Amino acid sequence: MSTIRLYIDEDSMDRGLIQSLRARNVDLITVQETKTEGRLDEEQLNLAASQNRVIYSHNISDFCQLHTDFLMEGKNHAGIALLSQDCSIGEQLRAILGLVSTKTAEEMQNQLEFLSKYLRNS
């Protein structure tokens, strides 16, 4: 059982969030670090999948559709984690930490996870 590794999508790259996650030993890379800013969401998901990383994004509608498309086409991805962009950095941090502390990389294979569930009752 391995730990979730993240790929942070362009719309979710906040310096404070990245620093906070890294300070808590969350393995992550960003589209800025991979020099893939501006690429299509499908390309980002393919890159994340090739590196066995769960993609984290605020782009809910596009990634929900991509998840469906991937499954219908028999393609695999390492997981998609989505959270509304109106969440604060603290809420995003809490939600992501909730995900990585309760799910394994294997459990995230081909899964779409709405991180808002990690904010309930907190």
Domains and CATH numbers, the chain: 6-118 (3.40.50)
* Mean of all residue pLDDT scores within the chain: 95
Question: Quick one: average pLDDT of 58-65?
Answer: 96
Give residue-wise pLDDT tens across range 93-108.
999 999 999 999 999 9
Question: Confidence class of residue 1 from pLDDT cuts 50, 70 and 90?
Answer: confident
pLDDT value of position 121 = 59
pLDDT given for residue 88 in this prediction: 94
Query: Contact, 2 vs 101, CB < 8 A?
Result: no
Query: Model-level pTM?
Result: 0.94
C-alpha span between 105 and 113 (Å, rounded): 12
